Amino acid sequence: MHLSLYKSFALPFLLVFLNFSSGCKAEPSPSEPVDPPVDTSSFAKGADISWLPQMEASGYTFYNDNGKAEDCFKILKDHGINSIRLRTFVNPSNDKFSGHCSKDETVAMAVRAKQWGMRVMIDFHYSDTWADPAHQTKPAAWVGLDFQTLQNTLYNYTYDVMTALKNAGVTPTWAQVGNEIPSGMLYPDGSTDNWPQLAKLINKGYDAIKAVSPTTKVILHVDQGNNNGRFRWWFDAARANGAKYDIIGMSYYPYWLDGSPDYTLSINDLGNNLVDMASRYGKEVMVVEVGGEDTKVQNTYNMLLAVQQKVKSVPNNKGLGVFYWEPQGARSWSKYALSCWGSNGQPTMALDAFK
């Protein structure tokens, strides 16, 4: 063989041999970004920030305590927030206040929360817009379905959202079946006037969540957390009708009680109710929504400390956490009076209660 031909054939093989003989080590490739670990054991200090994408899309700028523009997630985390709650609507409008929160938007936000090392709670409203004690309107596409088909549709929708989250790498720590449902959901089929049907709808949601994510804890959510009679009536009926769930969730808004009384007049009732619910039903408890007036910063700060203390005081570590509803939803953008954000685009001192 001619020397030049020998070189052209032998040299590449020699290089390969030398590479293997030196330990078979190839050049390391750049590592993929790794999400920070999520603390699944600590007390949940949470925030429902479902308005955030619309705020960002409208050009709203968030500033930290030093007046520097910063990602809202970082500002929240620097104030002690370790968990994020996200509402999800079935076929929402594009209204920036009462729409959005579609499956895809919810998944995208959940991924962001995970990237910040935060736990995620999914709040299934089972409506195209707000569901609350005064409004439990069926999604337009579900109107007219017979009850069996309605059950199956609820199951399939819930399963679909949970699967989309799973495929995106997110395992929600918690998921609510319905939002503030003291009088039921998916009227009229799921009204508390027909508890057997309501329980069946709840159980379809529960089963769909567990089918995709067995570790996700299911919450049933009732408002007026200070009202023990309301909770005993509701959860006695839930038990009698075989409704399945893991956690009792409460809203606590002194501002929305008759006369907007100061929190000091109802905080002990909240504490007693938390203890009673955990004892009476053997369940864990959470305050999944709370809020105070943005113009009474010190009062809201004091309330948040008191609410956290009441939840933490539930025996046997059954008090799991407290979530502020839209703390970043500044009045200048949302017209909402119960945020923790000032007109300067910065969090108020009230948010420091979670530190």
Positions annotated as catalytic residues are 180, 289
* 111/123 Cα distance (integer angstroms): 15
What are the DSSP E strand ranges found in 66-108?
83-88
Chain Cα centroid distance, residue 247: 14
Q: Residue 286 phi/psi, 5° resolution?
A: -150, 150
* 245/227 Cα distance (integer angstroms): 20
Among candidate residues 309, 219, 204, 213, the one with its CA nearest the CA of residue 263: 309
Helices 267-281, 297-312: axis angle to 10 degrees equals 20
Q: Residue 147 phi/psi, 5° resolution?
A: -65, -40
The contacts of residue 30 (CB under 8 Å, 6+ apart) are: none
- Bridge partners of 221? 249
Radius of gyration of the chain (CA): 25
Among candidate residues 349, 242, 272, the one with its CA nearest the CA of residue 304: 349
Contact by Cβ (8 Å): 89, 101: yes
Peptide bond into 188 cis (omega under 30): yes
Among candidate residues 346, 285, 291, the one with its CA nearest the CA of residue 323: 291
Q: Residue 86 phi/psi, 5° resolution?
A: -130, 125
- Bridge partners of 177? 124
Question: What's the residue count for the chain?
Answer: 355
* 212/232 Cα distance (integer angstroms): 31
